[in-house]
Structure 1
Amino acid sequence: MTAQRACAVSELEQDTPLRVVLDGVPIAVVLDSDGEIHAIGDTCTHGDISLSEGFVEGKTLECWAHGSAFSLDTGKPLNLPAYEPVPVYVVQIDGDDLLIDPQLTKDVPVA
């Protein structure tokens, strides 16, 4: 599989998650306050809720339903009730196109 166009970079609003679906895989794309673009799995591992409907604070995306916050860098939950991480996807930029391969996740350290 190769990277696919997820959206235009210019479509992203700072600290406002954008939901994209690539090959049936829901992904939350976030332009954080530092200008870095992140792509993580859009489904909360606690309650099957869309994370892109949640709240961005710093380098975290919080599920609106039960308050679990996930690291945008690692996908790991930072508080309960979620305890399983979400996948983190490799992001590429080509001009104004944001590209993501929904089958290619980042290797994130376990510790």
Structure 2
Amino acid sequence: MGAGTVPQYKRFLHEVETNVAKSFFHDYTDGEKQLANLFGEAGIFPTPKPTTLVGRFVSQASKKSDWVMDFFGGSGTTGHAVINLNREDRGSRKFVLMEAGDHFDRV
């Protein structure tokens, strides 16, 4: 250990009881690819987030029966991600999506 280094306790992943975050970004165009697969054409919605990214946030920040709220619903990625996550882990999360961006701009 070098001078000024603070000793730290090393914990292995199998010893940690929480959902440990991993790198989110595998491909920055995942959202565009997902929408193109759904609708058969690209460019329908500007800069969509991939459902895998939002799903990872939701799985780390919620319990299987929580409500998930998105006030910038846009293309509905959060709803799509919650549905996929519920299918994967047999959760019963519910979601509310609204597009309130214009309201926030006015207030």
TM-score, length basis structure 2: 0.24
Q: Which has the larger radius of gyration?
A: 2
TM-score, length basis structure 1: 0.24
Which structure ranks higher in relative contact order (CA pairs < 8 Å, sequence separation ≥ 6)?
1
Q: Give 1 or 2: higher helix fraction.
A: 2
Q: Give 1 or 2: higher strand fraction.
A: 1
